[in-house]
Structure 1
Amino acid sequence: MKPAGLPCPTHPLVTLRHLERSDAPAWYAYLADPVVVEHTSWDLRCVDDLQANFDDYASAEPSSPIRLAVVLREGGQLVGTIGLNAISPQHRTAEIAYDLAPAVWGQGVATSVVNAVVDWGFQHMGLLRIQATVLEGNERSIRVLERCAFEREGYLRCYRQVRGKSGNFWLYARIAGVPCIACA
């Protein structure tokens, strides 16, 4: 069963809420920005390409992905998403994934929401390991993960298709009980 309640980031600019189908146009708008595209493995041609994901996010199955909206506290505008994929209740593991609009880059938003979701995953879902795969060259995301006490575990060659080409990714993980450096 999915945990009740939502993670609570401490960042003064943003909060989290459930992602809704009506968020798709705003989500697509920044995901289609070339500066965002170069750092993700999304392969979107139009806003409708996001729609299939919403059925998965609405599922109550324990292993179904969770995706939350990162919204401005003032006005509620969507500026990102964050969630857990590849959830394994049996092994108590998941993979974290997030994306943000460039308008909020460099303001500590990613670090805050990643820490909030990781802590929530450990405390409310009973996860023991949360991992992340980050596209080689995405230095901003690598810094976020390292600030959030994720450790680099390996290099995944030709791991995932990135717009029709094999992409190399770094594998990071955080284990329950390892304190966050940014929170200390």
Structure 2
Amino acid sequence: MIKFNKMEAVIISERKKSVVTDIILVTIFGLVPLFFFIKWLISSDDVAGSICISVLIIAILFFPIVVISGYIWDVKQKIVLSEAGIKLCYGRNIVDILHGEGSFRIFPDNEIHWNKITGFDISSEERREATEGGGYSTTIRYSLLIKIQNPKVVVYNAQEFKINYSTIRLGKFKEPPNEILGICERFQKSIQNENH
């Protein structure tokens, strides 16, 4: 169990990419075929063959370009817990961009003070996609919900409390979703105990 010191901030971040795996994949699927295609291009006497090999070289270069751009455009998400509040630092990932789930734009950091936070929760979204064999592939995506209480809002001449949420997706974090939830709840309790 983590003990929190008075001024110590806790940073929960995404796990790092495997550089070794990416180097092996780029070598196998990018550099080796590229070497042979360039060799065939140099030894080819036929114009049509040279054009065909040139097109294949351009196609082969797509994979290394995607991998390298993944390092250029990759910005890690973070959750920063401090005495002032919680800060959600949104990131971006080339895989999410290619799948249409993200954009090149990074959302601004979201800072929420502890006096506005009423609690935390985990939401899960299950997605089923058909596979070739007739079955389904199921993926579950988790998000951390931060419940935020707004000031009283007048609705139909009655005062009601309206609860809003801030969220951050937890798919690529080092810690599992339940552990992140526990860290946030314990940190909030330690802040409340200090203030009372």
Specify the TM-score bucket, using the shorter chain as the normaliser: under 0.3
Relative CO higher for 1 or 2, CA cutoff 8 Å, sep ≥ 6? 1
* TM-score, normalised via structure 1 length: 0.22
Structure with bigger gyration radius: 2
Name whichever structure is richer in helix by fraction. 2
* TM-score, normalised via structure 2 length: 0.21
